[in-house]
Amino acid sequence: MADSETGQIDNVMQEDRLFPPSEQFCQNAAIGSMDDYQALYDAAKNDPDKFWGETAREELHWFEPFDTVCNHDGSHVEWFVGGKTNISYNCLDANIAAGNGDRLAIIWEGEPGDTRTLTYKQLLTEVCKFSNVLTGQGVGVGDVVSIYMPMTPELAIAMLACTRIGAIHSVIFAGFSAEAIADRNNDASAKVQITSDGLFRRGKTLPLKDTVNAALEKSPTVECCIVLQRAKNDCAMQAGRDYWWHELMEDASADCPALPLDSEATSFILYTSGSTGKPKGIRHTTAGYNLWTKKTFQWVFDWKPEDIYWCTADCGWITGHSYIVYGPMSNGATCLMYEGAPNHPAPDRFWDVVQRHKVTILYTAPTAIRAFVKWGDEHIDKHDISSLRLLGTVGEGINPDTWIWYHEKIGGEKCPIVDTWWQTETGGIMMSPLPGATATKPGSCTLPLPGVVPVIVDEGLHPVETNHGGMLCMAQPWPGMLRGIWGDEKRFQEQYWSTFPGNYLTGDNARVDDDGYYWIMGRIDDVINVSGHRLSTIEVESALVSHDKVAECAAVGRPHDLKGQAICVFVTVKDAQAGEALRDELRLHVRKEIGALAVPDDIRFTDGLPKTRSGKIMRRLLRDIAAGRQAAGDVSTLEDFSVLAKLSEDQE
């Protein structure tokens, strides 16, 4: 049967470079061989109750023990039923009880260059005081606290204070508009807002409080607003509603025992955009989420107490929740937190930070790596970044050539790269190499972690063959999985559980190769169907990015009378002349890399691609533009409207 009938996706990318971890890395790693990985994987798969029951007892503090490891019935899942624990306790008190209270929890650097450090003991004091501040404002178990703050230690303090007292945080990335904040506040019925006067970005002060003031006019459920003084810009404070963080903290007691909370108590909601409709408030729990982030952090980053770990995400995204705050801190890790832009005051800022703080583990996004490639190697060459021992990526697929650059230029060919595939919904990493065990292949997130049981099916729900792409689903529950969409059970069922009943639908396509390695092929909605061949966006894009004049690329389909769809690519170039000659060169290049089938019909050069605020290319907007339509749908997550305006203008 043709792929167009089964809904399978053609695999057109050939990537056979293999990078085994060095012997030295394996020797020092907690999981140092594929046999160790396989033993763990099998234990979790064959007897999940035993595996997760033991792991949960070992890793988390239990005020009251659980009586059932997991209950599940399709989409309805509960883990560690009957138990009581507290995430904030596991991140703070537990580390202090283990004798690590004087270890640094946070090394923080502001964009202007100011720095601060907090030990676990100091962090606990701040968190307890702020917990009491929140309680003083009437916040209790189950109340929603909306957080819209710069990347300062206080952002982590606010999150940990909420989870300490059973309040539910909803962190909103501090680049969203007033409208977007109000939408989220209303959907969640937020009771309290936390923000700051301003934030520093590329040397400018952005007036966060002004944005919040506009949002609060349309957020009737919010009773009070706590404002951190960060940028010292003028801002309007409304008497009786707005309070300064530092004033409330002055009188707050540092005594606030963590509240024992049900395993399944909601710890936070985090809004993520759907391609259509309003943003969804993804709901996570207490015990399962905490355990998943703690274990996956250990497995994937092979974390050691002496590591200086830097995840460059913002706490406004799930990556910041799981791998700046909860995962690392429940292990007692030292986390670097940076406030600003990667190119301020100059494009070498990240490497300057790595050198000065002797960062050993760096976890960042492909969009950032592509920018570093474009900015030029000279910014890296200025610095000694030899402290790095492990690199990670998250958020999008990484094109193999970008991966090789990361490996050579940043990793000095000695650091393993963990390409981590996961989602806001999964709570933590699902597929990734284990750096001391897995030989990596550029562009593949390699193998599932223990507890993850993926299945790939075609549109008829039949498992696809090796090397054919299909819909990636999860056949078994895992502790970190989402438990719902806030206030919208119907959408939760429809979106994740109705396509392949009993299985979680990720919304991504993937294939497995001959070695059992997984390759993510992009979102299901983004597949391009050319003459009955279903092509994955990432494969076409990777072929183009492997051309040395291409910096970044997005491939989409547009309607075509004969072929069904034609391939349209949007390309940003390094410093080459964009024009007809380069178009011909790129067509030839794709023909050579993939074949005639994938040669783009339209090649459009552009200065930038429309991206979400977390750096993902918004292909759905490009599909509209490629088809000559007005870009439609929700654009609240778009980072830079001028890019879209320019692309639409070019069309006219």
Q: Footprint of ligand PRX on this chain (CB under 6 A)? A: 272, 318-319, 394-397, 419-424, 445, 506-508, 520, 523, 614
Contact in structure between 122 and 95 (CB atoms under 8 Å): no
Is-cis flag, bond preceding 477, omega within 30?
A: no
Q: To the nearest whole angstrom, how small is the minimum distance from the Cβ of residue 225 to ligand PRX?
A: 27
- Report the residue number, 541 or 624, with the smaller CB distance to ligand PRX: 541
Contact in structure between 408 and 417 (CB atoms under 8 Å): no
- Report the residue number, 69 or 535, with the smaller CB distance to ligand PRX: 535
In the block, tokens 């292909």 appear at 619
* Residue at 463: amino acid letter: P
Q: To the nearest whole angstrom, how small is the minimum distance from the Cβ of residue 614 to ligand PRX?
A: 6
- Report the residue number, 21 or 366, with the smaller CB distance to ligand PRX: 366
Q: To the nearest whole angstrom, how small is the minimum distance from the Cβ of residue 331 to ligand PRX?
A: 19
Local structure of 473: helix, strand or coil: strand
CA distance 244 to 234: 13
Q: To the nearest whole angstrom, how small is the minimum distance from the Cβ of residue 522 to ligand PRX?
A: 7
| 403-406: long-range pairs with CB below 8 Å, 24+ | 403/442, 403/443, 404/17, 404/442, 405/369, 405/373, 406/369
- Report the residue number, 335 or 520, with the smaller CB distance to ligand PRX: 520
Q: Which helix (H) or strand (E) holds 84?
A: strand 84-85
**Structure token digits, residue 307:** 């590591």
Q: To the nearest whole angstrom, how small is the minimum distance from the Cβ of residue 272 to ligand PRX?
A: 5
- Report the residue number, 230 or 611, with the smaller CB distance to ligand PRX: 611
- Report the residue number, 55 or 322, with the smaller CB distance to ligand PRX: 322
Instruction: Give the total residue count for the chain.
Output: 652
Q: To the nearest whole angstrom, how small is the minimum distance from the Cβ of residue 127 to ligand PRX?
A: 25
Q: To the nearest whole angstrom, how small is the minimum distance from the Cβ of residue 312 to ligand PRX?
A: 12
Q: To the nearest whole angstrom, how small is the minimum distance from the Cβ of residue 13 to ligand PRX?
A: 13
- Report the residue number, 321 or 349, with the smaller CB distance to ligand PRX: 321
> How would you label 199-230 residue by residue, b for 16+ Cβ within 10 Å and e otherwise?
bbbeeeebbbbbbbbebbeebeebbbbbbbbb
Q: Is the dihedral of CA 267, 273, 275, 277 positive or negative?
A: positive
**Structure token digits, residue 145:** 């606290």
- Report the residue number, 508 or 539, with the smaller CB distance to ligand PRX: 508
Name the residue among 539, 535, 507 with its Cα closest to residue 523. 507
List, in order, residues 6 or more apart from 338 with CB less than 8 Å away.
Answer: 108, 109, 111, 151, 310, 312, 353
CA distance 88 to 97: 13
**Nearest to ligand PRX by Cβ — which residue?**
424
